[in-house]
Amino acid sequence: MAATAAPSGAQHAIRYGDQEAVAVEVGGGLRTYTVAGEAVLDGYAEDAMCDGARCQSLIPWPNRVRDGKWRWNGADQQLALTEPEQHNAIHGLVRWLAWDVVHKADASIELRCTCAPQSGYPWRLAVSNAWSLDDGGLTVVTTIRNMSSEPAPVAAGFHPYITAGTPLIDDAVLTIPATTRILTGDQQTPVGSEPVAGTAYDFTEPRRLGELEIDHTYTGLTRDRDGIARLQLAAPDGRRAVTVWVDDAYPYLEVFTGDALPDPGRRRRGLGVEPMSAPPNALASGEGLVVLEPGAEWQGRWGVTAGSTGNAGG
């Protein structure tokens, strides 16, 4: 009898020193990432189906498209409503596809899939994720190539949940290097924006998260000289800290405290920190979209560093 496949397909472990990550066939993302045996990503079990989009790839759009409707070059497009309770198309088209191994080494792996033309998105894309571990932690480089004969609008994102080892994220200390929060309406698509200064959502200086519920896109990211922006979640004593860093291909970070997750036991166990190249509803608004000519590529880079307070990679 053939062995039963895991819900997330083939499992691909990579290791470097005391770091280990498991990339998966379904969605081309990560199921787990640990350092010295301690979870850095709040992932999921091998015998479980990915829930809450945990570290899945969100391509060719992250977040939501209101009513799944958008228009391109005079033609109306209708995407499948994959978030029916809010009447939205959510998180792109590749998160449940099978991804093939292009290259595998002890500390790195590259996975690739083809996003075929379909109703609401009539372009063919080749997408790859190159995951690697080194002294700086975990890095992923994503490449999107337009394989169609017409220019293709694209955006990208990821959906990791991070943990600094606290039972709930309420006790963790959060730093978000962003000046602006995008405001959303009843379908969680943008209706405006506001400065975070003076509001409950200002984490430009480290402070305890507490019971605050967040499911918002942050932008106006503060970057280092190398163009890297860094969000950090730390244990109260500072001995464990997890930093998510993004390059300038990702001007937006969705921060999600997990209160809306269907399983109450999963809520607020990890903090969703989603690098995004465009904001919610980007296909409809055009904001942040990159238009790839035939054969052209887009590339973005982000990663995770685990250590103590002040330890940040990238």
Residue 94 within any structural domain of the chain: yes
Res 308: pLDDT = 78
- Banded model confidence at residue 1, pLDDT cuts 50, 70, 90: very low
| 6 domain residue, yes or no | no
CATH number for the domain that contains residue 241: 2.70.98.10
Beta carbons of 271 and 256 less than 8 angstroms apart = yes
- Reported as a single tens digit per residue, the pLDDT across 35-55 is 999 999 999 999 999 999 999
Q: In this model, does residue 261 exceed pLDDT 80?
A: yes
pLDDT, mean of residues 238-248 = 96
104 pLDDT higher than 50:
yes
Owning domain of residue 155: 11-307
Residue 313 in domain: no
What pLDDT score was predicted for residue 296?
98
- 30 CB neighbour count, 10 Å cutoff: 25
**Left (φ > 0), alpha (ψ -120 to 50) or beta: where does 15 sit?**
beta
Phi/psi for 273 (5° steps) reads -130, 105
CA distance 27 to 94: 6
What's the CA gap between 217 and 213, in Å, rounded?
Answer: 13
pLDDT band at 311 (very low <50, low <70, confident <90, very high): low
Question: pTM of the entire structure?
Answer: 0.95
Q: What's the rounded mean pLDDT across residues 97-121?
A: 98
Q: Is residue 60 part of a domain?
A: yes
Residue type, 72: W
Instruction: Give the chain's radius of gyration (CA, Å).
Output: 19
**Count of domains for the chain:** 1
Other CB atoms within 10 Å distance of the CB of residue 93: 23
- pLDDT higher than threshold 70 for residue 3: no
Q: 2 lies in a domain?
A: no
**247 neighbors 301 (Cβ within 8 angstroms):** yes
Residue 5 in domain: no
Residue 246 resides in a domain: yes
Distance CA 296, CA 294 (A): 6
| C-alpha atoms less than 13 angstroms from C-alpha of 51 in its C-beta half-sphere | 17
In a domain, residue 21? The reply is yes
Residue 248's pLDDT band, with cuts at 50, 70 and 90, is very high
What is the spatial distance between Cα 115 and Cα 314, in angstroms, rounded to a whole number? 29
The model's pLDDT over 117-133, given as tens digits with 9 standing for 90+, comes to 999 999 999 999 999 99
